[in-house]
């Protein structure tokens, strides 16, 4: 599974190991904010709904700053009280829309943070602005293929759809692909800081956004006032280790759901073994995909959508269990609408087969950030090894990375620990049962950072800040507002 973007009250979703998804955000409620035209540094802000929006021109290639430029889309919620400064935030992905995420800012950040900070986010390169990435417009086959193949013909299907996807990326966006690395996004982030006229910024990054933040603190430590990294990625891990550990995280989260079903009952497995009922249902859908009309549109639930739908619900921990049980019960009755809705939330699909740009941006960034298996045979071996430690998600997690094997741009980075010497204290939030970014990753990142401080949240969700845990929220808020660092071994149960 992709590690993806944090989802806000099931309104914003993710994306590759670090995970992969984005859905449209809803608007929140909160104090009235002045939406007149405004200027900060070199940025001109204009009203857009309940926010202010702007654009910023940045070099496509920072090695040639006078060459071609692209435009980043930005959104801001100005401080409504006594202002401390700017709080940048990124919801993850790679490729999640920060502008959409900002529409739900009132649901994530409490009044005290909204009073004190101009909260700003942006659409990373390739997502919005004047240079969005384009690959395939219709990704139904790409996401519908069986990613737990048991025969050479099924492997050939995966190879075929992935090669089609990569070829379309090269044909339609080949000029952008060499410049989609996280290193470029870090430079974009500092360009935003400069354009805002700020000497130092505060930052909250979720999921893949933790990797952006850690890289920023490493490159620009003097420009960091405070930094929170929630749902942390461990940059020192190889792609193989990341794949295996993330697959284990999703399997463990699914096992927790099975335990819940045994104790409380779930409609798809009443009076039986939920684990066996689940395996039987997936095998049935693999053998004979379910067809139905959803919102007037003919749809098919196959093994690919099934796996993604389950993963989508698991991002929400216990809050997603009822939805998952209902979707599985519907599929068991031959009514796949609920499972397709979960899958669509994960992939960014809307009615009519339209998809957001997140899938394209996710692969464009992930594939250049570090080395991946170089042959189909090596991916198959990784899938087999992953399935041994994670029987239900191991194979699919490995095969989801196959596009990187065919990617037309060579990797530009490699796994390494990030130290960020000279940065102020950085708070790393790790959730014990996080399926997409396992708790061990947060432990590792907090240890690797010279000034890392781990805050442990006991739970099953992907990331924890802004989800209503008063201990987590209070600890993070005090740090952002007062720079009060949590004590060693801080834990929120």
Residue pair 235/214 in contact by the 8 Å Cβ criterion:
yes
**Among candidates 414, 422, 431, which has minimal Cα distance to 471?**
431
pLDDT value at residue 35: 58
pLDDT value at residue 230: 98
- Which CATH fold topology does 4-132+178-236+415-492 show? Rossmann fold (3.40.50)
Residue pair 1/393 in contact by the 8 Å Cβ criterion:
yes
Which CA distances in Å does 386 have to 341, 352, 400, 413, 440?
Answer: 27, 34, 12, 24, 17
Q: How far apart are CA 437 and CA 314, in angstroms?
A: 12
**Among candidates 29, 46, 12, which has minimal Cα distance to 80?**
29
Residue pair 176/364 in contact by the 8 Å Cβ criterion:
yes
pLDDT value at residue 37: 79
pLDDT value at residue 38: 81
pLDDT in 10s for each residue of the chain, 493 residues: 555 665 443 333 333 333 332 222 232 333 344 556 787 889 999 999 999 999 999 999 999 999 999 999 999 999 999 999 999 999 999 999 999 999 999 999 999 999 999 999 999 999 988 899 999 999 999 999 999 999 999 999 999 999 999 999 999 999 999 999 999 999 999 999 999 999 999 999 999 999 999 999 999 999 999 999 999 999 999 999 999 999 999 999 999 999 999 998 898 887 689 999 999 999 999 999 999 888 889 999 999 999 999 999 999 999 999 999 999 999 999 999 999 999 999 999 999 899 999 999 999 999 999 999 999 999 999 999 999 999 999 999 999 999 999 999 999 999 999 999 999 999 999 999 999 999 999 999 999 999 999 999 999 999 999 999 999 999 999 999 999 999 999 999 8
Residue pair 56/124 in contact by the 8 Å Cβ criterion:
no
Residue pair 373/405 in contact by the 8 Å Cβ criterion:
yes
**Among candidates 216, 245, 242, 244, which has minimal Cα distance to 449?**
216
Q: How far apart are CA 53 and CA 4, in angstroms?
A: 24
pLDDT value at residue 371: 97
pLDDT value at residue 372: 96
Structure-token pair, residue 56: 């910023």
Q: How far apart are CA 436 and CA 314, in angstroms?
A: 9
pLDDT value at residue 269: 85
pLDDT value at residue 22: 27
Structure-token pair, residue 289: 């995909």
Which are the catalytic amino acids? 207, 434, 462
pLDDT value at residue 9: 33
Phi-psi category of residue 41: left, alpha or beta, with phi > 0 → left and psi -120 to 50 → alpha: left
3-state SS, residue 226: strand
pLDDT value at residue 293: 87
The helix (run of H) or strand (run of E) holding residue 307 is: helix 303-314
Model pTM score: 0.93
């Amino acid at each position: 599974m992709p590690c993806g973007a944090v989802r806000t009250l099931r309104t914003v979703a993710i994306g590759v190991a670090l995970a992969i998804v984005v859905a449209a955000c809803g608007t929140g409620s909160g104090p009235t904010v002045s939406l007149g035209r405004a200027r900060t540094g070199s940025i001109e802000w204009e009203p857009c709904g309940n926010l202010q929006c702007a654009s910023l021109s940045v070099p496509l290639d920072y090695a040639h700053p006078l060459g071609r430029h692209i435009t980043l889309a930005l959104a801001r919620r100005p401080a409504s009280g006594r202002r401390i400064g700017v709080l940048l935030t990124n919801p993850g992905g790679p490729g999640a829309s920060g502008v959409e995420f900002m529409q739900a800012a009132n649901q994530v950040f409490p009044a005290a943070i909204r009073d004190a900070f101009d909260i700003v986010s942006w659409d990373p390169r390739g997502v919005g602005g004047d240079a969005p990435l384009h690959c395939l417009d219709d990704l139904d086959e790409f996401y519908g293929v069986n990613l737990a193949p048991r025969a050479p013909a099924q492997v050939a299907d995966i190879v075929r759809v992935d090669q089609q996807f990569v070829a379309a990326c090269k044909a339609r966006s080949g000029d952008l692909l060499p410049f989609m690395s996280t290193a470029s996004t870090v430079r974009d982030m500092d360009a935003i800081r400069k354009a805002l006229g700020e000497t130092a910024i505060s930052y909250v990054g979720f999921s893949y956004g933790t990797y952006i933040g850690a890289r920023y603190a490493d490159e620009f430590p003097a420009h960091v006032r405070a930094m929170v990294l929630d749902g942390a990625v461990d940059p020192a891990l190889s792609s193989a280790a990341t794949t295996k550990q993330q697959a284990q995280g999703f399997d463990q989260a699914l096992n927790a759901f099975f335990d819940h079903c045994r104790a409380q009952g779930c409609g798809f497995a009443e009076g039986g073994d939920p684990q066996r009922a689940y395996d039987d249902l997936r095998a049935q859908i693999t053998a004979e995909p379910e067809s139905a009309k959803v919102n007037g549109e003919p749809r098919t639930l196959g093994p690919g959508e099934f796996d993604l739908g389950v993963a989508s619900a698991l991002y929400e921990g216990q809050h997603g269990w009822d939805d998952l049980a209902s979707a599985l019960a519907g599929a068991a009755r031959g009514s796949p609408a609920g499972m397709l809705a979960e899958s669509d939330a994960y992939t960014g699909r809307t009615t009519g087969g339209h998809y957001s740009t997140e899938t394209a941006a996710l692969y464009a960034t992930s594939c250049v950030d570090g080395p991946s298996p170089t042959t189909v045979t090596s991916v198959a071996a990784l899938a087999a090894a992953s399935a041994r430690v994670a029987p239900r998600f191991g194979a699919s997690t490995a095969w989801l990375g196959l596009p990187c094997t065919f990617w037309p741009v060579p990797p530009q980075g490699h796994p390494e620990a990030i130290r960020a010497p000279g940065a102020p204290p950085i708070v790393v939030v790790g959730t014990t049962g996080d399926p997409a970014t396992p708790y061990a990753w947060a432990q590792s990142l907090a240890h690797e950072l010279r000034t890392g401080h781990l805050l442990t949240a006991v739970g099953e969700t992907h990331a924890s800040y802004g989800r209503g845990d008063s201990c987590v929220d209070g600890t993070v808020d005090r740090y952002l507002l007062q720079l009060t660092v949590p004590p060693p071994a801080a834990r929120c149960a």
